[in-house]
Amino acid sequence: MTDVAIKICGISTPDALDAATAARADFVGLVFFPPSPRHVDGYAAAALAARAGSTIGRVGLFVDADDGLIGESVRAGRLDAIQLHGEETPERVAQVKERFGLPVWKAIPVATARDVEKAKAHDGVADLLLFDARTPKDAALPGGMGLSFDWSLLSAWRGKPGWGLAGGLSAANVAGALAKTGAPLLDTSSGVETAPGHKDPEMIRAFCKAARNA
């Protein structure tokens, strides 16, 4: 058994929220980014927050968002953490932390060892670094595309706190990902969907079981 933390990202319906809670995920991700098929607005976020109560952590996901969107989403979703998944600088990360008084997770797009090296600029500023597969320049989304990267690039992070692994994770590969990286947190979205934005309760359950039994 492992005590790895689990985030199910892109939750947008009550059934998906219930499935993540039943599977004992630690966090759900609420995507406040209109181009995403998982996008939620303030009303939907408020309804999900009311349903969740204090049973599961809620991470709001933003892409180069302004303080207005972040602020209204924090209030509506009663967020526990803010995930910045755009090109936010360490200075912007610090500004968001100061402004909203919540833990800030910074997504680090990874394709090469240089990308991992560049993460050091955020280390000690962000509360958590989420290493995720870099998406193609012309991609519609900067994440949530089911893409993975070479996990061996993270070998220097093994045993360290304050980071997570994302990108193409599923029940089929999560044990291998944990064995290779020792990630303290795992994040999945596409890997628990039957189609973009359509979470599958059984896939959510299987992912959490595979991660915990790894």
User: CB of residue 9 vs ligand LARABZUK: minimum separation in angstroms?
Assistant: 3
User: CB of residue 159 vs ligand LARABZUK: minimum separation in angstroms?
Assistant: 23
Q: Which is nearer to ligand LARABZUK, 1 or 195 (CB)?
A: 195
The residue type of 74 is V
User: CB of residue 193 vs ligand LARABZUK: minimum separation in angstroms?
Assistant: 8
The number of residues in the chain equals: 214
User: CB of residue 76 vs ligand LARABZUK: minimum separation in angstroms?
Assistant: 18
Q: Which is nearer to ligand LARABZUK, 74 or 187 (CB)?
A: 187
- Gap between the terminal Cα atoms of the chain: 6
Distances (CA, A) of 1 to 180, 205, 208, 214: 16, 15, 11, 6
Distances (CA, A) of 23 to 40, 56, 199, 202: 22, 11, 13, 9
User: CB of residue 54 vs ligand LARABZUK: minimum separation in angstroms?
Assistant: 22
Interface contacts to ligand LARABZUK, rule CB under 6 A:
9-10, 29, 31, 33, 36, 38, 61, 63, 85, 132, 141-147, 166-169, 187-191
Largest CA distance in the chain: 42
Here the tokens at position 81 are 């953490």
Q: Which is nearer to ligand LARABZUK, 49 or 164 (CB)?
A: 164
Residue nearest to ligand LARABZUK (CB): 144
Q: Which is nearer to ligand LARABZUK, 73 or 189 (CB)?
A: 189
Q: Which is nearer to ligand LARABZUK, 52 or 63 (CB)?
A: 63
Query: Taking phi first (over 0 means left), then psi (-120 to 50 degrees means alpha), and beta for anything else, what does residue 76 get?
Result: alpha
Here the tokens at position 206 are 């299987």
Alpha-carbon distance of 149 to 134, in angstroms, equals: 8
Are the C-beta atoms of residues 186 and 7 closer than 8 Å to each other? Answer: yes
User: CB of residue 190 vs ligand LARABZUK: minimum separation in angstroms?
Assistant: 3
